[in-house]
Amino acid sequence: MKVNENILISSLTTMRLGGPARYVLEVEQPSEIPDAYGFAKQYHLPTFVMGYGANTLGHDEGFKGAIIINRMRGITESTTDDGSTMIKIMGGEYWDNVVAYACERGLTGIEAMSKIPGLAGAAPVQNIGAYGQDISDTFVEAEAYDSVTDSFVTLSKADLQFSYRKSILNTTAKNRYFIISITIALKQGTMPRPFYNSIEKYITEHSLTDFNPQSIRSIVTQLRANKLPDPLEIASAGSFFHNVYLTEEAAEAAADKGYPVHHGKDGYKINSGWLIEQCGFKGKLLHGIRVSDKAALVLINESATSYNDLAKARSEITGKVYDKFGYWLEQEPVEIQ
């Protein structure tokens, strides 16, 4: 385990905001996890588990505790009797490496989640998803360390209680478990059609006929490059707001008003980017935070120097959306506090 002191959170997160963390503990193998939590307990420090930092925000005052980061890497596979391929991924593995690994082998199930920044261990936390696929679709189990009972446990799909961008890991059991590895089940083949609207549109525009996992990965890579900034190059937390989900009754009322309501496997929704754009924010600079001119649900840290700058920009956006439409936008990134 590597112990680092007084590390700026801004250097650990892709939004590049946040003061110093008292300690940053880097865990490189499962046996070091109890040591990390033991270290925090010894000095009466709160803990925060962090991965790549792409969906995490730091506060100006920093964190007077221990941030624990997963540095465990590795991917292994096995085949089941029904022909499924079980992929076991260590939590510190970069997620897009996992997608690339699967697509190179012709395995379907996660190809639409290409280029999502982050680590594999964070994937089940908020049930990551894109273009019609969610990690919960293929998730089998996770090996984890329970910081409450100080024991190693196995968490099943049912245990995690997945829903749209949620699981117990970011709700009822937030910050309780340290994910060591996840196992997903994939199969040879292709995604079922119809594909997500933007994928179908791209296929039509480019007259494509090959829909193998590698081809879908290429399409998604291009779609994301056209509207989502690379967090390694441009300071951003990716999609900053969740889409707005509605009851069937509320969806009917919204449709009657001419709002673009979409009906998918998770229910009825309105894209938060559309709401923000309708309020005139697309491309605007607010307190150093730029609302992307390509995808309005993306906020870019162009010149903000503090969390307070971000908070003021967020408040302006959510307030105007509520005043105009009556919907409160929910922030997607988690905060270290």
Name the residue ranges covered by the structural domains of the chain. Answer: 2-70, 75-188, 236-335
Q: Going by CATH, does the domain composed of 236-335 fall within 3.90.78.10?
A: yes
Q: Find all residues with CB under 8 Å of 258, minimum gap 6, and list them.
A: none
Higher pLDDT, 228 or 56: 56
Per-residue confidence (pLDDT) for residue 223, from 0 to 100? 95
Residue type, 27: V
Task: Give backbone dihedrals phi and psi of 190, rounded to 5 degrees, phi first.
Answer: -135, 160
Please say whether the beta carbons of 262 and 274 come within 8 A.
no
Residue type, 26: E
Specify the residue for token string 């699981």. 167
212 pLDDT higher than 80: yes
Average pLDDT, the chain: 95
Per-residue confidence (pLDDT) for residue 228, from 0 to 100? 86
The CATH fold assigned to 75-188 is 3.30.465
265 pLDDT higher than 80: no
pLDDT band with cut points at 50, 70 and 90 for residue 97: very high
The CATH fold assigned to 2-70 is 3.30.43
Q: Which residues are catalytic?
A: 165, 239, 332
Distance CA 322, CA 251 (A): 16
pLDDT in tens, 235-261: 999 889 999 999 999 999 999 999 999
pLDDT band with cut points at 50, 70 and 90 for residue 286: very high
pLDDT in tens, 168-193: 999 999 999 999 999 999 999 999 98
DSSP state of 331: B
Please say whether the beta carbons of 245 and 267 come within 8 A.
yes
pLDDT band with cut points at 50, 70 and 90 for residue 230: confident
Please say whether the beta carbons of 125 and 170 come within 8 A.
yes
Please say whether the beta carbons of 229 and 292 come within 8 A.
yes
